[in-house]
Amino acid sequence: METISDNTTFKVTNQGFVKLDRFDGSNFTRWKDKLMFLLTILKISYVLDPNLQPFPEPIDKDTKKMIEDRKKREEDELVCRSHILNTLSDRFYDLYTPMKSPREIWNALEFKYKTEKLGKDKFLIFKYFKFSMVDNLSVLDQVHELQVLVTKLLKVKIVLPESFQVGAMISKLPPSWNDYRKKLQHKTEEFTLEEI
């Protein structure tokens, strides 16, 4: 195995370490987090910082350090842009290639998909209330699906009290469970999600 002695080897090693699926418009948050992890490991994520100040135009009196820093920033921006573009599906690659700055690409993607995410968050609430269990699927699988919905709601800061979740779960039981549902609804003691 090669030692990690220079940036090139380091970059190749880490690309194998962080599995990045091509972004095709779905799961933006997951894609963004994975890509940011890779860019952080490569020590180039700083070029996406909205507070990063641009370098002044080169002048004859630039110090050697200033010239080296400018060159490093340009190289880091090029590598960062390439990593972003290389993790996009062909359709998105063609759409975002004309943008020359990695920050411009990043901001455009965030603007588009954060806006869409807000609409999806509202849809989660609708999906939770509309959810009902059916007889032809495993009840445990359906309970798991409902719990995944609750977890997604928590991520968008919608907290459902446990007693509400218990009541919802009972009401969402499949039709073949009507007798059990009625039995649970008429009990006076409180149930936890685990007990249900």
Task: Indicate whether 69 belongs to any domain.
Answer: yes
Range of the domain at 143: 131-185
Residues 96 and 175 in one domain: no
Structure confidence at residue 180 (pLDDT): 86
Within a domain: 164? yes
Q: Which of 58, 83, 114 is the last residue of a domain?
A: 114
Task: Please tell me the least confidently modeled range out of 104-108, 112-116, 118-122, 124-128.
Answer: 118-122
Mean pLDDT of 135-152: 89
Residue 17 predicted with pLDDT over 70: no
Q: Is residue 193 part of a domain?
A: no
My answer on whether 142 and 79 are in the same domain is: no
Q: Binning pLDDT at 50, 70 and 90, where does residue 15 land?
A: very low
Predicted confidence (pLDDT) at residue 29 exceeds the cutoff of 50: yes
Q: Give the chain's domain count.
A: 2
Asked, for residue 55, whether it belongs to a domain, the answer is: yes
* Within a domain: 119: no
pLDDT at 152: 84
Examine the domain organization and report whether 13 and 82 are in the same domain.
yes
If we measure between CA atoms, which residue out of 54, 114, 43 comes closest to residue 80?
Answer: 43
pLDDT (tens digit per residue) in 73-94: 999 999 999 999 999 999 999 9
Higher pLDDT, 6 or 173: 173
| 8 A C-beta contact, residue 122 and residue 143 | no
Predicted pLDDT of residue 8: 41
Q: Are 104 and 181 part of one and the same domain?
A: no
